């Protein structure tokens, strides 16, 4: 049942993208400027129809569910996603190197499966410092790459 | 010949040698790190070459490309997980050799045959690129338009997942390449946020599409226990491996020729080359029944084929802008970032950059062979890097790479959004390669479509201009053939998977 629901969502998304794009293109007056994306959208619609047909055909053939899929580690992925978003949003304010160090340290500690000890935190902090120091030396000092400076560097 | 020697000597500046060695060692490590693909490794590196001279940047990317493919053999042999899709067939005999206690020998055989195959492939690249480039000079807008469509259709058809999803992904890539101003008419399209005014930059998109899904996959698979084979280096094994490689010269030739042919076909890729070489070796082998039980010839045939494919995969890229593999598509980003557009101009206006890059691939092959043998002795260290450290490092590098191209946070958000979308897509068997190809080849297709339309309306008419003419018909035929072949393959596979169920 769950598989059928995700397949239905997939089909809807495959139709939605070209339809929404065609709707956005309608506001453009110059016909030639929208000709190529229009054709692409029509082609995408054709593929979406073929895919929907394939999926419906497979339902008729194989109605029985084949075993339970492996459990998805939702909590771990959600935590990683949240930390990444915080990392991106705070980068300009905090600065690339400090923010990168904090992201490295916090992520490795939060997602670590073992028990947190002072030694483990120290080791992770050391790894984070080394990684960011290598990046700084290689790219900032040697290649002169500009990065957001933020509150420090 | 004199020119060629001049370009070859130009590879031996201290900086270029340093870049080649660094790229090779880094590439082998990245190839050997389970969970990181060669394509992603090159994608992460591309923005940093922006700060180098074009030749230096391309030399580095060429070395990394060569080394990651070869480095993938380490995981294939020691933990039965291919480091790259090109190393799938390496597992068939490589891992059984490791189980027999011959891991060290299997690794040496892999790097030695990769060296021979790689040199063969680069020789073909050097010999065949100029004539193909001369042929491409004759192409007009209609031919170039169809070539772009062919490039997307081939990779879309052969990518993982279903053919329809691959083709849909290619079309989606072309659609998002339309974001921003139309190059001919200057009209804005799909600009629903300020950050999209300038369109989607190739490099952040490449990084997002290849790196972000892998980061999340690493997070998902964190903590999984893998059976790792380790070994202690012994004396005399290298000599034994060299003798064995020479003894199996038939497998070396077979693998190199198969890899070269497959590499030159856009989209076919290393995994196909390795599997075909393995299959063909079964036909010429004196003891085919031993294949799969851990014999040297299986490793030699596969590894020579997947590395000989590297050079020829650059022929359609450099001459016509049609990447031969997903990694070649990312390498194209490395050219574009320096304002070098693939095509005949690369061999006239920028001949020094192009030929130095091509000849540097010879040196890179030797570096890969030598450092591969040295590093494989310490391969257990590479494989012990935790998934957690790897996914955090890749995230930081992805952010750094996306930001550094235009010093813009908008690029970082575009990279992340595309990556997240691709991760969700990968859960439903959509693959990144067709999307990237569509994104790269979309502007080429649209530009030539618009120019061709102007020419067509002042002369033959749209249908005659785009659909008639020998070259057009051949390319259209190839497009249909590649899609038809992929659909046939899918139906055949579906038939195979249904039959055992029915029999049961």
Q: How confident is the model over A92-112, as pLDDT tens digits?
A: 889 889 999 999 999 989 887
* Those residues with Cβ within 8 angstroms of residue B320's Cβ, 6 or more apart along the chain or in another chain: B132, B136, B139, B144, B147, B342, B343
Question: What is the DSSP-derived secondary structure letter of residue B314?
Answer: G
* Contact check, Cβ <8 Å, A104/B391: no
Looking at the structure, tell me whether residues A81 and A26 fall in a common domain: no
For residues B497 and A47, what is the distance between their CA atoms, to the nearest angstrom? 23
List, in sequence order, the alpha helices (H) in B377-431: 379-383, 387-406, 409-427
Looking at the structure, tell me whether residues A82 and A53 fall in a common domain: no
* Contact check, Cβ <8 Å, B51/A6: no
B37: left (phi over 0), alpha (psi -120 to 50) or beta: beta
Is A15 within a domain? yes
HSE-CB at B28 with a 13 A cutoff on CA atoms is 28
Model confidence, pTM? 0.81
Provide the shortest C-alpha distance from residue A118 to chain B (in Å).
Answer: 18
Nearest CA in chain A to B223: A113
From chain B, pick out residues whose CB is under 8 angstroms from the CB of A135.
Answer: 396-397, 400
In SS3 terms, B93-135 reads as HHHHHHHCCCHHHHHHHHHHHHHHHHHHHHHHHHHHHHHHHHH
> What confidence score (pLDDT) does residue B405 get?
78
Nearest CA in chain A to B448: A36
What does the block give as tokens for B125?
A: 């690249």
> What confidence score (pLDDT) does residue A63 get?
55
> What confidence score (pLDDT) does residue A24 get?
92
Residue A66: pLDDT band by 50, 70, 90 thresholds? low
> What confidence score (pLDDT) does residue B159 get?
62
* Contact check, Cβ <8 Å, B416/A88: yes
Partner-chain residue, chosen from A32, A84, A143, that has the shortest CB–CB distance to B48: A143
Residue B227, judged by CB atoms within 10 A of its CB (0-12, 13-18, 19+), counts as: exposed
Provide the shortest C-alpha distance from residue B377 to chain A (in Å).
Answer: 24
From chain B, pick out residues whose CB is under 8 angstroms from the CB of A148.
Answer: 403, 409
3-state SS class at B227: coil
Looking at the structure, tell me whether residues A138 and A99 fall in a common domain: yes
Partner-chain residue, chosen from B393, B420, B498, that has the shortest CB–CB distance to A131: B393
Looking at the structure, tell me whether residues A80 and A136 fall in a common domain: yes
* Contact check, Cβ <8 Å, A87/B395: yes
Provide the shortest C-alpha distance from residue B52 to chain A (in Å).
Answer: 8
Whose structure tokens read 């109605």?
A63
> What confidence score (pLDDT) does residue B124 get?
92
Looking at the structure, tell me whether residues A95 and A135 fall in a common domain: yes
For residues B151 and B479, what is the distance between their CA atoms, to the nearest angstrom? 8
* Contact check, Cβ <8 Å, B185/A10: no
From chain A, pick out residues whose CB is under 8 angstroms from the CB of B395.
Answer: 84, 87, 103, 107
Nearest CA in chain A to B425: A10
For residues B231 and B240, what is the distance between their CA atoms, to the nearest angstrom? 17
Do A80 and A107 touch, CB atoms closer than 8 A?
Answer: yes
Do B465 and B142 touch, CB atoms closer than 8 A?
Answer: yes
Residue B131, judged by CB atoms within 10 A of its CB (0-12, 13-18, 19+), counts as: exposed
* Contact check, Cβ <8 Å, B388/A107: yes
> What confidence score (pLDDT) does residue B229 get?
62
From chain A, pick out residues whose CB is under 8 angstroms from the CB of B52.
Answer: 143
* Contact check, Cβ <8 Å, A107/B168: no
A117: left (phi over 0), alpha (psi -120 to 50) or beta: beta
Which of A20, A37, A61 terminates a domain? The answer is A61
Provide the shortest C-alpha distance from residue B277 to chain A (in Å).
Answer: 33
* Contact check, Cβ <8 Å, B168/A48: yes
* Contact check, Cβ <8 Å, B445/A36: yes
Range of the domain at B25: 2-503
Q: How confident is the model over B267-321, as pLDDT tens digits?
A: 666 667 888 888 888 888 888 888 888 899 999 999 999 889 888 888 888 888 7
Do B338 and B151 touch, CB atoms closer than 8 A?
Answer: no
Provide the shortest C-alpha distance from residue A40 to chain B (in Å).
Answer: 6
Do B475 and B483 touch, CB atoms closer than 8 A?
Answer: no
B189 DSSP β-pair partners: B180
Using the predicted structure, report yes or no on whether residue A80 has a pLDDT greater than 70. Answer: yes
* Contact check, Cβ <8 Å, B389/A108: yes
How would DSSP label each residue in B278-292?
A: HHHHHHH-S-GGGTT
Q: Minimal CA–CA distance to B363: which of B2, B18, B72, B104?
A: B18
From chain B, pick out residues whose CB is under 8 angstroms from the CB of A31.
Answer: none
Cα distances (Å, whole numbers) of residue B205 to B61, B86, B323, B439, B444? 18, 24, 17, 9, 17
Say yes or no: B408 contacts chain A, CB-CB below 8 A. Answer: no
Q: Minimal CA–CA distance to B38: which of B86, B76, B79, B77?
A: B86
3-state SS class at B192: coil
> What confidence score (pLDDT) does residue B504 get?
33
> What confidence score (pLDDT) does residue B231 get?
65
Instruction: Compute the count of residue pairs across chains A and B with CB atoms less than 8 Å apart.
Output: 141
Please give the angle made by the CA atoms of B481, B484 and B486, to the nearest 5 degrees: 105
From chain A, pick out residues whose CB is under 8 angstroms from the CB of B405.
Answer: none
From chain A, pick out residues whose CB is under 8 angstroms from the CB of B416.
Answer: 84, 88
Whose structure tokens read 């030695």?
B112
Q: How confident is the model over B76-130, as pLDDT tens digits?
A: 888 777 777 778 888 889 988 988 888 889 999 999 999 999 999 999 998 888 8
List, in sequence order, the alpha helices (H) in chain A: 2-25, 31-61, 74-94, 96-110, 118-135
Partner-chain residue, chosen from B174, B219, B389, that has the shortest CB–CB distance to A76: B219
For residues B216 and B465, what is the distance between their CA atoms, to the nearest angstrom? 47
Partner-chain residue, chosen from B189, B392, B453, that has the shortest CB–CB distance to A34: B189
* Residue B189 phi, psi dihedral angles, 5° rounding: -130, 145
Please give the angle made by the CA atoms of A143, A144 and A146, to the nearest 5 degrees: 130
pLDDT above 70 covers a percentage of chain B that reads 90
How would DSSP label each residue in A13-34?
A: HHHHHHHHHHHHHTT---HHHH
Nearest CA in chain A to B224: A113
In the stretch 337-396 of chain B, residues with CB closer than 8 A to chain A read 388-389, 391-393, 395-396
Is A105 within a domain? yes
For residues B338 and B333, what is the distance between their CA atoms, to the nearest angstrom? 9
> What confidence score (pLDDT) does residue B195 get?
79
Distance of CA B309 to the CA centre of its chain: 9
B181 DSSP β-pair partners: B188
For residues B352 and B110, what is the distance between their CA atoms, to the nearest angstrom? 33
- Work out how many domains chain A is built from and give that number: 2
Provide the shortest C-alpha distance from residue B57 to chain A (in Å).
Answer: 12
> What confidence score (pLDDT) does residue B156 get?
66
3-state SS class at B348: coil
Do B38 and B68 touch, CB atoms closer than 8 A?
Answer: yes
What does the block give as tokens for B306?
A: 């997947």
- Work out how many domains chain B is built from and give that number: 1
* Contact check, Cβ <8 Å, A37/B189: yes
Range of the domain at A125: 74-142
Question: What is the DSSP-derived secondary structure letter of residue A138?
Answer: I
For residues B4 and B18, what is the distance between their CA atoms, to the nearest angstrom? 22
3-state SS class at B181: strand
Partner-chain residue, chosen from B164, B428, B453, that has the shortest CB–CB distance to A50: B164
Helix B409-427 vs helix B387-406: crossing angle, to nearest 10: 140
Looking at the structure, tell me whether residues A98 and A132 fall in a common domain: yes
Provide the shortest C-alpha distance from residue B184 to chain A (in Å).
Answer: 8
HSE-CB at B43 with a 13 A cutoff on CA atoms is 31
Do B324 and B433 touch, CB atoms closer than 8 A?
Answer: no
Partner-chain residue, chosen from B172, B182, B413, that has the shortest CB–CB distance to A17: B172
From chain B, pick out residues whose CB is under 8 angstroms from the CB of A139.
Answer: 48, 51, 400, 404
* Contact check, Cβ <8 Å, A47/B428: no
Looking at the structure, tell me whether residues A48 and A88 fall in a common domain: no
Residue A125, judged by CB atoms within 10 A of its CB (0-12, 13-18, 19+), counts as: middle
* Contact check, Cβ <8 Å, B51/A145: yes
Provide the shortest C-alpha distance from residue B192 to chain A (in Å).
Answer: 9
Whose structure tokens read 């500009």?
A146
Cα distances (Å, whole numbers) of residue B410 to B207, B208, B213, B405, B468? 14, 13, 19, 11, 43
> What confidence score (pLDDT) does residue B434 get?
87
In SS3 terms, B52-95 reads as CCHHHHHHHHHHHHHHHHHHHHHHHHHCCCCCCHHHCCHHHHHH
Provide the shortest C-alpha distance from residue B402 to chain A (in Å).
Answer: 11
For residues B395 and B40, what is the distance between their CA atoms, to the nearest angstrom? 12
**Which stretches in chain B have pLDDT values below 50?**
500-504
> What confidence score (pLDDT) does residue B422 get?
94
Provide the shortest C-alpha distance from residue B388 to chain A (in Å).
Answer: 6
């Amino acid at each position: 049942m769950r598989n059928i629901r995700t397949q239905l969502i997939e089909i809807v998304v495959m139709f939605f993208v070209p339809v929404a794009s065609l709707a956005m293109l309608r506001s453009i007056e110059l016909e030639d400027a929208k000709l190529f994306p229009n054709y692409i959208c029509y082609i995408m619609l054709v593929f979406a129809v073929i895919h929907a047909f394939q999926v419906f055909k497979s339902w008729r053939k194989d109605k029985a569910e084949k075993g339970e899929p492996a459990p998805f580690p939702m909590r771990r992925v959600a935590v990683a996603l949240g930390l990444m978003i915080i990392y991106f949003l705070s980068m300009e304010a905090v600065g690339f190197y400090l923010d990168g160090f904090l992201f490295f340290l916090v992520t490795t500690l939060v997602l670590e499966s073992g028990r947190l000890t002072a030694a483990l935190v120290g080791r992770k902090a050391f790894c984070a410092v080394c990684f960011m120091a290598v990046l700084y030396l290689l790219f900032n000092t040697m290649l002169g790459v500009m990065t957001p400076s933020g509150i420090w560097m | 010949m004199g020119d060629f020697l001049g370009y070859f000597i130009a590879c031996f500046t201290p900086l270029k040698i340093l870049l080649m060695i660094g790229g090779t060692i880094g590439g082998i490590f990245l190839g050997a790190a389970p969970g990181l693909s060669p394509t992603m490794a090159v994608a992460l590196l591309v923005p940093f070459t922006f700060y180098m001279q074009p030749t230096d940047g391309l030399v580095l990317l060429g070395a990394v490309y060569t080394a990651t493919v070869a480095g993938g053999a380490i995981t294939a042999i020691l933990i039965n997980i291919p480091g790259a899709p090109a190393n799938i067939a390496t597992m068939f005999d490589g891992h059984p050799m490791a189980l027999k206690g011959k891991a060290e020998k299997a690794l040496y055989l892999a790097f030695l045959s990769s060296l021979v195959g790689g040199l063969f492939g680069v020789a073909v690249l050097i010999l065949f690129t100029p004539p193909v480039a001369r042929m491409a000079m004759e192409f007009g807008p209609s031919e170039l338009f169809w070539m772009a469509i062919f490039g997307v259709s081939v990779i879309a058809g052969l990518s993982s997942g279903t053919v329809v999803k691959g083709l849909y992904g290619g079309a989606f890539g072309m659609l998002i390449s339309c974001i921003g101003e139309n190059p001919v008419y200057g009209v804005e399209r799909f600009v629903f946020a300020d950050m999209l005014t300038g369109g989607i930059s190739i490099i952040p998109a490449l990084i997002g599409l290849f790196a972000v899904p892998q980061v999340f996959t690493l997070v998902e698979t964190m903590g999984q226990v893998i059976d790792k084979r380790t070994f202690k280096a012994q004396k005399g094994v290298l000599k034994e491996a060299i003798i064995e490689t020479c003894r199996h010269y038939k497998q070396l030739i077979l693998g190199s020729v198969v890899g070269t042919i497959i590499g030159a076909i856009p989209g076919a890729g290393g995994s196909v080359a390795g599997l075909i070489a393995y299959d063909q070796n079964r036909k010429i082998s004196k003891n085919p029944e031993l294949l799969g039980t851990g014999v040297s010839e299986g490793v030699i045939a596969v590894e020579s084929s997947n590395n000989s494919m590297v050079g020829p995969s650059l022929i359609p890229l450099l001459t016509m802008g049609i990447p031969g593999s997903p990694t070649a598509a990312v390498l194209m980003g490395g050219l574009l970032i320096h304002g070098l557009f693939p095509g005949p101009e690369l061999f006239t206006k920028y001949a020094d950059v192009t030929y130095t890059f091509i000849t540097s691939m010879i040196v890179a092959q030797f570096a890969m062979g030598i450092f591969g043998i040295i590093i494989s002795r310490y391969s257990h260290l590479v494989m012990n890097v935790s998934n957690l450290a790897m996914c955090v490092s890749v995230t930081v590098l992805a952010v750094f790479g996306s930001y550094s191209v235009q010093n813009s946070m908008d690029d970082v958000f575009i990279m992340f959004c595309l990556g997240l979308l691709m991760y969700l897509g990968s859960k439903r068997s959509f693959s990144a390669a067709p999307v990237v190809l569509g994104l790269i080849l979309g502007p080429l297709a649209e530009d030539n479509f618009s120019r061709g339309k102007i020419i067509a309306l002042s002369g033959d008419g749209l249908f005659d201009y785009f659909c008639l003419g020998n070259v057009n018909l051949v390319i259209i035929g190839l497009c249909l053939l590649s899609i038809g072949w992929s659909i046939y393959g899918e139906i055949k596979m579906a038939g195979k998977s249904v039959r055992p169920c029915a029999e049961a």
